[in-house]
């Protein structure tokens, strides 16, 4: 499959929101043939816009309820360690793991295998970074598609541009500035905590698309948390 990543996609704005991962799917960019997992994120609740403004403010520019945003994780990178950390962060948030649980999984070969298998399932890739194929040769969808609601934060900072760790200057001797954005999957929001988060049953039905889909996700979550 190809993707128009970098083209007409609804990018998540800077800020914090609670998002249902509607779908995650493996794609290729049409020109550079770069591999990526594209996540469609349905906003269940906007929290803030990164400037301490909430959705009640007329000047609010953060995530908005009912909007679906796209976020892509590119698998071809010069920084595999950073990519590995991103994989782990997304997996831990989607599975609802605490920092203590993450360390416990990392401390044993069996736990590391669990991390690897779940990461592959969430990111739609195998151990070699190649896409996982599903039924009839179609790309597999993420195992958390239409299942998990996660708090996600997008931050934006102005930093000095650097090449090989050294700052780059313009013709006047001033350091060149660039805008750096990062997206963080923070934590899963369990169904039992939805009311405390201000999320109503109507909000959930709109997000999941049907009562049956919401009930299926709820039953799967209960089974997972009991294991």
Summarised one tens digit per residue, pLDDT across range 161-210 is 887 778 888 888 888 888 888 999 999 999 999 999 999 999 999 999 99
pTM: 0.86
C-alpha closest to that of 120 among 110, 111, 107, 130: 130
At 1, the pLDDT band (50, 70, 90 cuts) reads very low
The range of the structural domain enclosing residue 123 comes to: 15-155+181-226
What is the count of structural domains for the chain?
1
| 27 in any annotated domain | yes
| β-sheet with 68-74: strand ranges across | 68-74, 35-48, 15-28, 149-160, 177-188
| 168 in any annotated domain | no
At 7, the pLDDT band (50, 70, 90 cuts) reads very low
| 1 in any annotated domain | no
| 125 in any annotated domain | yes
Written as six digits, the tokens of 223 are: 């089974």
3-state secondary structure the chain: CECCCCCCCCECCCEEEEEEEEEEEEEECCCCCCEEEEEEEEEEEEEECCCCCCCCCCCCCCCCCCCEEEEEEECCCCCHHHHHHHHHHHHHHHHCCCHHHHHHHHCCHHHHHHHHHHHHHHHCECCCCCECECHHHCECECCCCCCCEEEEEEEEEEEECEECCEECECCCCCECEEEEEEEEEEEECCHHHCCCCCCCHHHHHHHHCCHHHHHHHHHHHHHHHHC
Give the model confidence (pLDDT) of 91-127 as tens digits. 999 999 999 999 999 999 999 999 999 999 999 887 6
Give the model confidence (pLDDT) of 60-72 as tens digits. 999 999 999 999 9
| 68 in any annotated domain | yes
* Bridge partners (DSSP) listed for residue 152: 17, 185
| 216 in any annotated domain | yes
C-alpha closest to that of 45 among 20, 12, 70, 9: 20
Q: Residues 6 or more apart from 204 whose CB is under 8 A from it?
A: 44, 194, 214
| 172 in any annotated domain | no
| 58 in any annotated domain | yes
């Amino acid at each position: 499959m190809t993707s128009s990543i970098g083209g007409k996609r609804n990018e998540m704005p800077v800020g914090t929101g609670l998002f249902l991962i509607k779908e995650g799917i493996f794609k290729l960019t049409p020109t550079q043939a770069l591999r990526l997992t594209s996540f469609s994120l349905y906003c269940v609740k906007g929290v803030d816009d990164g400037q301490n403004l909430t959705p009640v403010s007329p000047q609010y520019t953060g995530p908005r309820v009912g909007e679906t945003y796209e976020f892509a994780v590119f698998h071809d990178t010069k920084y595999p360690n950073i990519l590995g950390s991103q994989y782990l962060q997304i997996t831990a948030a989607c599975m609802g793991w605490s920092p203590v649980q993450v360390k416990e999984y990392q401390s044993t070969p069996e736990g590391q295998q669990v991390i690897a298998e779940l990461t592959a399932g969430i990111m739609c890739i195998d151990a070699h970074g190649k896409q996982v194929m599903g039924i009839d040769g179609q790309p597999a969808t993420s195992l958390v598609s239409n299942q998990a609601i996660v708090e996600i934060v997008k931050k934006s900072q102005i930093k000095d541009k650097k090449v090989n760790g050294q700052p780059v200057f313009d013709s006047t001797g001033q350091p060149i500035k660039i805008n750096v954005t990062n997206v963080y999957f923070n934590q899963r929001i369990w169904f039992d905590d939805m009311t405390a988060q201000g999320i109503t049953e109507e909000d959930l039905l709109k997000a999941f698309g049907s009562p049956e889909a919401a009930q299926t996700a709820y039953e799967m979550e209960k089974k997972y948390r009991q294991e």
